[in-house]
Structure 1
């Protein structure tokens, strides 16, 4: 296996939602997309304009009317075919992901599998979620009330660079199942992953105007999406999330966002430390730590801290790191020079202020231009940058604590609230601790995969880690408007003609109070 060929990129480039560029490649400026492992050029991508977004939204809005009128079972048939295509083409998809992101093969496979299970989940549950629901009417027996689900219209997705395939596809899967169209802006450095998702959608039978990819800058393309769509789904930094939230508020459109995290792991005295160390290589270093739900802080009871530090340090030092389109390397590269600079700065700052380096701590230009070793720190002082700020890289700090109570308090002592992890002596103990943690997902006996992969349950952040949820019922219903249709039968609220108006009004209050004894349907 190797990086994708020029033929693959030429095919994907033809899916860009800029018709003028497809007929005249000189109509838009282009930027180079490089293979992260080596820095070698892969392909060029056009820069979209605000007018390109407006045109894409207009096409999407026109196509969405007919799509919304189709039976939900008909719509989810596209999702079922999409899942089959993802499974059949998973090697090519992983190659595209790795080339653009530099992540390991295992981390790329996580993206592909998430697309697969999310498509199958919503194909199964969407028709039931979208079916009209009978609710109690104002006057039972006389008032029929039914809640219908209407699609929002055109959903805008602004996707990140760290998981650019599944976070382009899976948010769209729910929106499409609900009857919406989608216009997406991929991250500027990972556009071909979103185009690979588009390729799977079109081959699955989705009309092309219902899922459109407009590449370009956040300021130009992202801004135009916010100004023209009916709902926005964003994944990225908390700082950008605040800006987009204000813009959506100005337009009074719905908004959902998964933002940053400073995720904690708690390890109690009864935990299996060998298991902790094995799971930690994924919990800490999947996609080189460039994962919103990966762990950056570990709180461990002091009685076992020396043993855990020894075990973890040995395991991290033994990790295989390097490039390759196979499953040999446990960790790949960082994605950009900016990320490499942030990681280097955070580690150097912590060490300069007294932190002790247990493993890693160095760039690895011998492996590729953007590699950095998986890094473990302890004795990190409170004034170190990485103590509270999200590093978003392969850097984890270990903090011994006196008790589980202290571990819980410190884990919650952050403005973030995305994900957390608990390893304890039993599942029951772990679940009791988990219920006291202020994060949208908590994994007991795992790092992040259990919560992320449980797509029937909602996933998102508390605090500054997000607004709304993806996955679960909420992950689909957020793309709909609830509409109540109430039908009054036999007697209207003016009362029957044979009852005097005054008498009718006097009867209303006691009759309304008596309704508490009636069935709810």
Structure 2
């Protein structure tokens, strides 16, 4: 399928790929207009269980096909992602309301994740020899066995890139995937999947289901061999509980209330540009985007002025081009959430530094990028994740106060520091408690580093995606040991007595030469 602009016929074709046996559908609106864009079928619990069963059969052959075959298929998929970029960019914008530039970030991320896992899976998972407990008498190696069927639950906000970050390493490791797509991001996921199917991934190996969390979500987490979830901390806790009861693994990327520290040696205009993008890319609807801004008092005046100037006349839009700097909130529910946080803060004494208004002149769910001051602990926006269009600015007297404030959160997903001093950057980044830390950038440095692990601490999640860790979560290590026959291992008391001295001598010798 060549690159093309999205069309109703294409929407219908992609929707046909959802595993759904009934006639129930749900209307999915477009953020650009607020009106129904398409109808999406609903998968039942039986649909999910059937998809998992078919995926199990497909996984056996896929695992046996080997690394070289999987690498070829995934690299073809990588090329198709790039060939179909206009279609994928259109779909991301149509479903999420983000700008073309932010959609491009998703596409590049999906391609990078696919390339990394295609090329690195064999090196990471090919198995290795390890030192045996009794050298010369025993040899030991570790091999990796694919877990089976991974269940992937992804949200609407970064449907393309988040799908790739969980699905592709699972495929590279030899697993099958059944993915529950959010309604608002299903088309993007289905188009991504189509590229992989056309590249040679068996259709049953990567199934996409939809439907409610209570039915489709529960059926998925009840039956798969490993669970990947991206979403709220509250839902993540429930999934973690179920995974624990079933004794299956899970990786959970959850909420964040991410801080950025602006120290007094920065260029205020450049820092304001970095902070504005870190806070309001995708209108703040990104797990790693910034919601708390800690500014050194010495630079607060020029920095604040530069930030206000940058955000005072935001270039908002939803056209399928690169003209807009800021997009729309994704849904009426998101607009309600943002408005509720703003109203609560203003009622309790906060002040709008810039923004603070819906922009229905542009589209139904557009909202100005908003920065608040005077935010205090009794306000919802102080500690709870807003996930959209609002950030709070606080003044600090030094870096110690900034670090303590940044770490004073139940979350620990991403953190950032802006400074010209590499020494200061290292000192502050080492002190921040978060799964990723960005220096002189809001989130993109760590988020784009697909060879490095990504995840959170505290209430921001468990496990890691990307890098070696992202591959290793989809396999079980198997230890295989073999006796060499050089000397029979003792079985009787007399045999142990005879070998006590040599065994102790061997143990002391290994300690002396520092061999593990």
Q: TM-score, normalised by structure 1?
A: 0.95
Q: Show the counterpart of 2:8.
A: 6
Q: CA RMSD in A?
A: 1.8
**1:293 equivalenced with 2:295 (yes/no):** no
Matched, 1:388 2:383: yes
Q: Structure 2: where are the runs of 5+ without partners?
A: none
Equivalent residue of 2:92, what SS?
Answer: helix
Residue 134 of structure 2 is matched in structure 1 by 139
Matched, 1:229 2:231: no
C-alpha separation between the residues in 2 aligned to 1:379 and 1:34?
A: 36
Q: 1:195 aligns with which of 166, 180, 190?
A: 190
Within the candidate set 340, 349, 363, 1:368 is matched to: 363
Q: What is the alpha-carbon distance in structure 1 between the residues aligned to residue 157 and residue 147 of structure 2?
A: 27
The offset of 1:510, in angstroms, is 4.1
CA contact (8 A) 1:427 1:444 kept: no
Partner residue in 2 for 1:242: 237
Worse-matched range after superposition: 38-47 or 143-152: 38-47
Aligned pair 1:491/2:487, yes or no?
Answer: yes
SS in 1 for 2:184: coil
Task: Name the stretch that deviates more: 322-331 or 232-241.
Answer: 322-331
The alignment of Structure 1 onto Structure 2 pairs a total of residues equal to 513
Question: SS state of the match for residue 409, structure 2?
Answer: coil
| Contact 1:2–1:95 (8 Å) recurs in 2 | no
Q: Deviations over 1:26-46 (max 9, x none)?
A: x32011122111023222111
Given candidates 106, 113, 119, the residue that maps to 2:108 is 113
Matched, 1:209 2:222: no
The alignment partner of 1:42 has SS state of strand
1:335 equivalent to 2:330? Answer yes
CA contact (8 A) 1:285 1:331 kept: yes
Measured after TM superposition, the shift of residue 500 of structure 1 is 4.2
Cα deviation, residue 501, structure 1: 4.2
Matches for 1:245-260 after TM superposition, within 5 Å: 245-260=240-255
* In structure 2, C-alpha distance between the alignment counterparts of 1:515 and 1:319, rounded to whole Å: 67
Q: What is the rounded CA distance, in whole Å, between the counterparts of 1:170 and 1:383 in structure 2?
A: 37
Shift of 1:142: 2.0
Instruction: State whether residues 377 and 398 of structure 1, in contact with CA within 8 Å, keep that contact through their aligned partners in structure 2.
Output: yes
Maintained 8 Å contact 1:268/1:404: yes
Comparing 382-391 with 272-281, greater Cα deviation is found at 272-281
Give the gaps of 5 or more residues in structure 1: 21-26
Report which stretch shifted further, 104-113 or 511-520.
511-520
1:299 is displaced (CA, Å) by 0.6
Contact 2:110 2:161 survives alignment (8 Å): yes
Equivalence map 1:304-323=2 (5 Å): 304-323=299-318
* Mapping of residues 401-412 of structure 1, within 5 Å: 401-412=396-407
Query: 1:24 maps to which residue?
Result: none
Cα separation, 2, equivalents of 1:247 and 1:84: 38
Post-superposition offset of 1:17? 2.4
Shift of 1:175: 0.4
**Greater CA drift, 432-441 or 9-18:** 9-18
Shift in Å, 1:100? 1.0
CA distance in structure 2 between the aligned counterparts of 1:304 and 1:318, rounded to whole angstroms: 23
